[in-house]
Amino acid sequence: MREPSSPVCSLATHEGHDPQQELEVARWRRAERARLRAERMAMPVAARADWAAALIRHLEEGLPRWLGDPKGRVISGYWPIKGEADLRPWLAALDAAGAKVALPVVVTKAAPLVFRRWTPGMAMERGDWNIPVPPAEAEALRPDLALAPLVGWDGAGYRLGYGGGYFDRTLASLSPGGPFVVGVGLQAARLATVFPQWHDIPMSAIVTEEGVQVQVRQPLV
């Protein structure tokens, strides 16, 4: 485990905001985000495929405990970018098993994400960051379980993402009673802490190629 490289203070329970602390946290997170993304992008193709296959095995094992029978339930995935694990084969299998699969879409900048129904082979549009997304006429859904790709993560269940804040805004908008959120990432991306700030929301569980590492929320079943 890599220890934090800056003596910043956690803001998870900070009342009021110290601008200097926030600046130090933001600077540290940018540096860690860049480092972890570079390491992930440097993975050989075969290693990335093995990583995705291991994640799928652990997700298949965990799904009955977290959600029960997926038939008729809404499961949100993601379209892989920037070296993320490709879990689309698992999403396609869930669709075939009767689940409703959704993908997140940025409809309005700095606003919560919208989840649209996805089916294998459907015609896609280009969305934010040029990521393929389901078309505007696709059904909007509210996920029961959502996958969240991790750049970094810590033992308290907090996620280091890309820095846009979309996922935290979305989870806040769906609370209370929001989806069971499973962060998926690399074991090597674990940090001593991500220095969570007041607006950060922990994952319900975190899964890596080594299995379930964190579960901070009771399952939905």
pLDDT at site 219: 72
pLDDT at site 171: 87
What domains appear along the chain, each with residue ranges and CATH number? 19-215 (3.40.50.10420)
CB 11 within 8 A of CB 20: no
pLDDT at site 5: 38
pLDDT at site 7: 38
- E strand spans, the chain: 74-76, 100-105, 114-118, 125-126, 132-133, 140-141, 145-149, 152-154, 159-160, 180-184, 190-191, 205-208, 211-215
Digitized pLDDT (tens) for each residue of the chain, 221 residues in all:
344 333 344 444 444 567 888 899 999 999 999 999 999 999 999 999 999 999 999 999 999 999 999 999 999 999 999 999 999 999 999 999 999 999 999 999 888 999 999 999 999 999 888 899 999 999 999 999 999 999 999 999 999 999 888 888 998 888 888 899 999 999 999 999 999 988 889 999 999 999 999 998 777 66
